[in-house]
Amino acid sequence: MSTPLLEVHDLVKHYPPRGFFSAGSAPVQAVNGVSFAIAEAETLGLVGESGCGKSTVGRAILRLEEPTAGDVRFVGESILEADNAALHRLRRQMQVVFQDPYSSLNPRMSVGRAIAEGMEIHRLARAGEIPARVAALMVEVGLDPESAGRYPHEFSGGQRQRIGIARALAVQPRLLVCDEPVSALDVSVQAQVVNLLADLQRDRRLAYLFIAHDLAVVRQLAHRIAVMYFGRIVELGPARTVIAAPKHPYTQALVSAVPSRVLERHADRIVLSGDPPGPTTVLPGCAFASRCFHPRRDQRCHAERPTLRVIDGHQVACHHAEES
């Protein structure tokens, strides 16, 4: 098998307790041993609820935050061991699209210049070619190239997200980390951006790490889906079967909680009791055990942490996944 585009191995990110009042308290274990790989032109959806660590995974991969431990490789080359020059080169190939494009755009820079910036930094085009390249990118993401001289505040939320995508594409990356790229958009506009991302993947053979809390949006783009809970992946498998036949009780609850338009489905909906554990909690067993509804859950779930095992083509971290 050829080398995957991105390999993440046992990624860990802990935050030391911060602030005057928390001296001596436990670290926040945001990510606790996450492993996955992404191939060229593939989308891995990373889903989970707030605080599960999914955004931290995205940031740690790009070294926007330094991981505590683990290994991240881009086409075999270690990102975590890279020196500044190597990191500069690797970052050109891995770009990021954030939830709120407005906060990542300089309000005093015209969108044309914002899109050109990366090409200039990475010396990807001669000065004379840049306006034509910017215009071509704007067309590709569905923006009017005539508006290159305008400023971010003159654009709607959906258009700003297109600007953010054009800016990322300007350096010809092979991987985009998309962190909740459509969740701040109005529903009628969300679909425009989802379709754009699908087209770009087809045309450019881009790979996506698509981080989102909305399973229905993720399913629209993902080939495979990884479900995170409390800093760990609890299930990873083909998108179709993770949604249609989830193995982990948490994935089952997550799929079941997505509002459905089919009226009958309300009756057999799984409504979990309780809340996720606090971020500094250290649990010897399964982090989901306190909310689990699996009929076979037992003392072992609280005492011993389940590791990922392969069941019917899914990786699942549950002692009782076969018995549901």
Partner 1 sequence: MTPLLEVTGLRIAFPGQHGPMYPVDGVTFSVRRGELLALVGESGSGKSLSCLAILGLVPTPGRIDPTSRILLGGTSLPDLNREAMRRVRGRRIGMIFQDPTTSLNPVFTIGRQLEEAVANHFPGPRAAIRARAVELLGEVGVPEPAGRLASYPHELSGGLRQRVMIALALSGEPDLLLADEPTSSLDVTVQAQILALLDRLRASRGMAVVLVTHDLGLVAGRADHVAVMYAGQVVERATAVRLFAAPAHPYTRGLFRSVPRLDAPVDRLAPIPGVVPTAARWPAGCRFHPRCPEALTQCQSESPALRHVGPDQSAACLLLDPPQAGG
Residues in the site for partner 1, rule: CB under 8 A? 49-50, 156, 158-159, 186-192, 194-195, 198, 213, 215-217, 219-220, 243, 253-266, 269-276, 291
Q: Are 150 and 161 in contact (CB under 8 A)?
A: no
CB of 278 to partner 1, least distance (A): 8
DSSP annotation of 304: S
In angstroms, the CA 177 to CA 184 distance is 17
Q: Where are the alpha helices (DSSP H) in the chain?
A: 54-61, 84-93, 111-121, 130-140, 157-169, 187-204, 215-221, 239-244, 249-257, 299-303
For residue 222, count CB atoms less than 10 angstroms from its CB and return exposed for 0-12, middle for 13-18, buried for 19 or more.
buried
Shortest distance in whole angstroms from residue 168 CB to partner 1: 21
Q: How far apart are CA 144 and CA 309, in angstroms?
A: 49
Distance, C-alpha 222 to centroid of its chain? 11
The least CB distance from residue 19 to partner 1, in Å, is 13
CB closer to partner 1, 95 vs 190: 190
Integer angstrom CA distances of residue 119 from 64, 137, 153, 169: 20, 12, 23, 10
Query: Closest approach of Cβ 232 to partner 1, in Å?
Result: 17
> Closest approach of Cβ 254 to partner 1, in Å?
6
Q: Considering beta carbons, is residue 81 or 144 the nearer one to partner 1?
A: 144
Identity of the residue, 188 or 299, whose beta carbon is nearer to partner 1 in the bound complex: 188
- Amino acid in the structure at residue 71: D
Smallest separation, CB 100 to partner 1 (Å): 14
Pick 116 or 143: Cβ nearer partner 1 = 143
Q: Alpha-carbon distance 129 to 54, whole Å?
A: 38
- Containing 176, the helix (H) or strand (E) segment is strand 175-179
Amino acid at 26: A
Quick one: 212 or 301, whose CB is closer to partner 1?
A: 212
Treating both helix axes as pointing N-terminal to C-terminal, what angle do 111-121 and 130-140 enclose, rounded to 10 degrees?
120
Judged by beta carbon, residue 173 or residue 237, the one nearer partner 1 is: 237
Rounded distance between C-alpha atoms, residue 200 and residue 185, angstroms: 19
Shortest Cβ 211–partner 1 spacing (Å): 15
Nearest approach, Cβ of 219 to partner 1 (angstroms)?
6
* Closest CB to partner 1 among residues 217, 316: 217
The residue among 83 and 268 lying less far from partner 1, judged by its C-beta, is 268
